[in-house]
Amino acid sequence: PTTLLIPNSLFGMGNPLLDISAVVDKDFLDKYTLKPNDQILAEDKHKALFEELVKKFKVEYHAGGATQNSIKIAQWMIQEPHKVGTFFGCIGKDKFGEILKHKAEEAHVDAHYYEQDEEPTGTCAACITGDNRWSLVANLAAANCYKKDKHLDLEENWKLVEKAKVCYIAGFFLTVSLESILKVAKHAAENNKLFCLNLSAPFICQFFKDNLMQVMPYVDVLFGNETEAAAFAKEQDFETNDVKEIAKKAQALPKVNTKRQRIVVLTQGKDDTVMIETFPVLKIDPKNIVDTNGAGDAFVGGFLSELVQEKPLDQCVKAAHYAANIIIRRAGCTFPEKPDFK
């Protein structure tokens, strides 16, 4: 039985995006100079990409955004009570925004969006090519308009942060509102709560490393995959490519809340997950893999679902592997009705 959880125990804040996914050809990737298995922010040259994707290929729409995905998966793993997961982010007053609201409700996540009409709801083009590679192009739009003073600081919203035991923010949000992240991170450190961050993408480690390193002293649990870990190690002059060594060095970085040692969790796709000790992943037959795009978000969601219940770390990793294993069999970050994780 689960430790009795109260609503809003798990807080997430990030970029709520509507994923527009399609299987594309190599010419399409080349035309927009997209690298496989990469995540980037849309620039002017990508504007036409979104239109062409919808016109030329068979697209599917899924509610997305890394942090929101992880909170949804955590809620799905927990099942009852509803609304253990809270999510904050910014959307537009439009059809896509309505879809995101509806999907969050369906997933029993307590989503409180800052709604504004300057910018439309953000989208993410997920361009999938054969052999299960994908390239993500995020057009943040409204997601980039999140404002601390307009939303996070409001009493009824901040109350929800105060209810949380565990806070999770994907590194992607470092490009949007550093001050919002720092407010939550400091609150967590002062109240001995768990603050979790994801490296999210190589470009975060490279081009937003000042923001990243302002938040790092508050990070209790750091997530990343091997590509992000390598980019992080390079930027931090760790002088190693060994994932275990990178984990140890990241763990040793300065930390504000000394009551807790930092936990670093680095995934390596089908290879073992490194968390200072190493955990084998569940094996999966490659022909059952439909879409690896949501796997990282699902991994975090599974991990958080046990962390918020104060379960031991090996159990957190087991749940993480279970969730990722389920998600890669399905298109988009979607899941069956109920988990059968023990």
Instruction: Kindly list the catalytic residues.
Output: 297
Across the chain, where does the E strand assignment appear?
10-13, 17-23, 38-41, 60-64, 85-92, 110-116, 122-129, 133-139, 166-170, 194-198, 221-225, 263-268, 271-275, 277-279
Q: What does the alpha-carbon distance between residue 111 and residue 153 come to, in Å, rounded to a whole number? A: 16
Q: What does the alpha-carbon distance between residue 332 and residue 27 come to, in Å, rounded to a whole number? A: 23
Please check whether residue 104 is in contact with residue 87, taking contact to mean a CB–CB distance below 8 angstroms: yes
Alpha-carbon dihedral of residues 158, 84, 320, 182, nearest 10 degrees?
A: 0
Q: What does the alpha-carbon distance between residue 119 and residue 125 come to, in Å, rounded to a whole number? A: 17
Alpha-carbon dihedral of residues 83, 316, 221, 236, nearest 10 degrees?
A: -130
The pair phi, psi for residue 43, each rounded to 5°, is -115, 180
CA distances in angstroms from 97 to 87, 101, 112, 123, listed in the order given: 14, 6, 12, 10
User: Side by side, which strands form the sheet with 38-41?
Assistant: 38-41, 133-139, 122-129, 17-23, 60-64
Q: Describe the crossing of helices 295-307 and 313-327 by its angle, rounded to 10 degrees.
A: 150
The first and second tokens of residue 127, run together, are 């361009």
The first and second tokens of residue 285, run together, are 């037959």
C-beta neighbour count of 106 within 10 angstroms? 10
